[in-house]
Amino acid sequence: MSKFNFEILGKDVKSDARAGVIHTVHGDIKTPSFVPVGTQATVKSMSNEDLQEIGVQVFFVNTYHLYLRPGLEAIEKGNGLHSFIGWGKPLMTDSAGFQIFSLGDVNRQRKLCLQGDPLEIPLVKISEEGVKFRSHLDGSEHLFTPEKSIEVQRILGADIMIAFDECCYYPATHDYAKKAMERTHRWALRCLERSSKFHLEEIPQGGQVQSSKLGKSPQALYGVVQGGVFEDLRKESAKFISNLPFEGVAIGGVAVGESKKEMEKVLDWVVPLLPKEKPRHLLGVGEIDDIFTLVEKGIDSFDCVMPTRLGRMGHLLVRKVENREWKLDITK
């Protein structure tokens, strides 16, 4: 069984851009790579055949939604997520953290309660243990801890998992951003500890992850850098996460209301401190004008819902043609 590995094939001499390959048991991901989002294990309005036809190498699925519906039992019976959805290429799963923190009117409530610790809002309660939340489907109460997040992602069987983190919304005070970052660091250690225990257990047959036989797996785990829009916190988080034995690094807490200039500053602070030999993923960013900036700054992969959302809403992305000769041309 092949293990997760990242290979750098080339670097740009005028920027931090680089080309590489992420090797996984379900195939290779050539980087830099845009990762479409399939929230409930399907990219909306597109079939698996559509995705393969346009060259999609990997897509991002949401742990929170799959945990609630169809549920882990159904996915286990389907022999893991790849088999369940009929997708033979790599998959990424998030930690469920962002969606949990986004429940209800969380963003507005957080702006009013930034100093609270633990923060309590109608649908969510954050504590050191983890996050208690109520399902948006039926109101049932659930507890997600760092350990639970890893266990769920292991059962889903994605090639790349994301460590459980506390997403710091914008605008947060420095004090709250620091508390959220420090909690993210403690949760990162717990994620690693839970993940490492799987390696001591029986190796499952056929490479399938079974809840009763969770064993050594080629699944990779990315740690998450947080810290809001504060330089000192971002650098501290980048150094902390970089020193842990994660297979890759994800940059979180962006695309949550800050300006694009602020996002670019975050990358300028963080990327130089990340291990060059590990892949870097930027969570939740991928508009057309962003992609060039992200690649130039050394990001290897990035996910976003924007392309399929625009398509479903009837938008068409075209080149800006300024030559008046083509003003009335409707052939293309």
- Cis (ω within 30 of 0) for the bond into 90? no
Residue 316 resides in a domain? no
% residues pLDDT > 90 (the chain): 67
Per-residue pLDDT band for 99 (boundaries 50, 70, 90) equals confident
Average pLDDT for residues 214-231, to the nearest whole number?
85
Residue 51 domain-assigned (yes or no): yes
Has residue 53 been placed in a domain?
Answer: yes
**For residue 324, pLDDT beyond 90:** no
Give this prediction's pTM. 0.88
Give the residue ranges of DSSP H helices in 129-173.
146-156
More confident: 186 or 305: 186
pLDDT > 80? residue 158: yes
CB atoms within 10 A of CB 102: 18
In a domain, 330, yes or no: no
Instruction: State which amino acid sits at residue 193.
Output: E
306 versus 5: the higher-pLDDT residue is: 5
Would you state the structure tokens that stand for residue 43, as one six-digit string? 């990219």
Distance of alpha carbon 29 from alpha carbon 9, whole angstroms: 12
Residue 329 has pLDDT above 80, yes or no: no
- Beta-bridge mates of residue 100: none
Sign of CA dihedral 55, 62, 96, 193: negative
User: Facing residues of 76 across strands?
Assistant: none
Alpha helices in 205-276 (DSSP H): 231-242, 260-270
Q: Is residue 328 part of a domain?
A: no
- The H-or-E segment that residue 11 falls in is strand 5-11
pLDDT band for 204, please (50, 70, 90 cuts).
very low
How many Å apart are CA 213 and CA 202, to the nearest integer? 6
- The reported pLDDT for the residue numbered 214 is 40
What residues act catalytically? 94, 303
User: Of 8-17, 132-141, 264-273, which range is least confident?
Assistant: 132-141
CATH number of the domain to which 52 belongs? 3.20.20.105
In a domain, 210, yes or no: yes
Average pLDDT, the chain: 88
Amino acid 121: pLDDT: 47
Is residue 319 a part of any domain in this protein? no
Q: Which residues pair with 88 in a beta bridge?
A: none
Contact status, residue 173 vs residue 181, Cβ threshold 8 Å: no
Q: Which residue range is the domain that position 189 belongs to?
A: 5-310
Rounded Cα distance, 177 and 146, in Å: 19
Number of domains in the chain: 1
Q: Which of 190, 257, 271, 196 is nearest to 229 (CA)?
A: 257
Please state, in angstroms and rounded to a whole number, the distance separating the CA atoms of residues 77 and 74: 5
Of 22-26, 36-40, 201-205, 241-245, which range is least confident? 201-205
- Whether 317 is covered by a domain: the verdict is no
